[in-house]
Structure 1
Amino acid sequence: QACEQSNAWIGDFQSSVNKMNVQNFNWTMYSLLFIHIQQIIKKITEEKK
């Protein structure tokens, strides 16, 4: 289920990343996933309070 949710979230950016070279794609995916994970951690932390 986590993979399906991640793929759906990343799919929102498909039109943008289709035109990128490999280096830009890798950097963009790393950045997007980093931001996404930070948001998840923040949400979980706030729910525990």
Structure 2
Amino acid sequence: YKLDELCQKFCNPAPDDGSQPNLVIVALDAQGQPYFKCAFNTQVCEQLNAWLGGFSAILKRMTAYNFKWLIHVMLYYHTKIILSKQGNGVCNMEASREDEVDEAEESSTD
């Protein structure tokens, strides 16, 4: 992939030029020198994928709409459980959920 310009431009998860701000961000080391680092925690992504793998038998038999809905709900509750174990963010999650319910009720009455 290092020799293929197309692959280097579009498939490189950590470009050295900072062209993918959603993948790579500039951080400062202990001496104050800038360097590029991943903007997301890949270990968390792997753990989440492993957790979702336990539901693969159920998920692969669903319609696309039901799949998207179930994934959304599962991720919501999974995040809520993780935040409650950490002891932070629970109030914010509840407030945002109440806002979502209010918006859904408003759109259903139109």
TM-score, length-normalised on structure 1?
0.90
Partner of 1:11: 53
**How many residues align structurally?**
46
Question: Please, what is the CA RMSD of the aligned residues?
Answer: 1.1
Question: What is the distance in 1 between the residues matched to 2:54 and 2:75?
Answer: 13
Partner of 1:41: 83
Larger Rg: 2
1:29: Cα distance to partner? 0.2
SS at 1:28's partner residue? Answer: helix
* Consecutive unaligned residues in structure 1, runs of 5 or more: none
Q: Which amino acid aligns with 1:45?
A: G
SS at 2:62's partner residue? Answer: coil
Question: What is the distance in 2 between the residues matched to 1:12 and 1:31?
Answer: 16
Indicate the structure with greater strand content: 2
Question: What is the distance in 1 between the residues matched to 2:81 and 2:56?
Answer: 20
Map Cα deviations across residues 28-49 of structure 1 (whole Å, 9 max, x no partner).
0001000100000100007xxx
Higher relative contact order (CA 8 A, sep 6+): 1
The ranges of structure 1 where at least 4 consecutive aligned residues each deviate by more than 4 angstroms after the TM superposition are none
Q: Which amino acid aligns with 1:21?
A: T
* Consecutive unaligned residues in structure 2, runs of 5 or more: 1-42, 89-110
Partner of 2:71: 29
Map Cα deviations across residues 1-49 of structure 1 (whole Å, 9 max, x no partner).
0000000000000000100010000000001000100000100007xxx
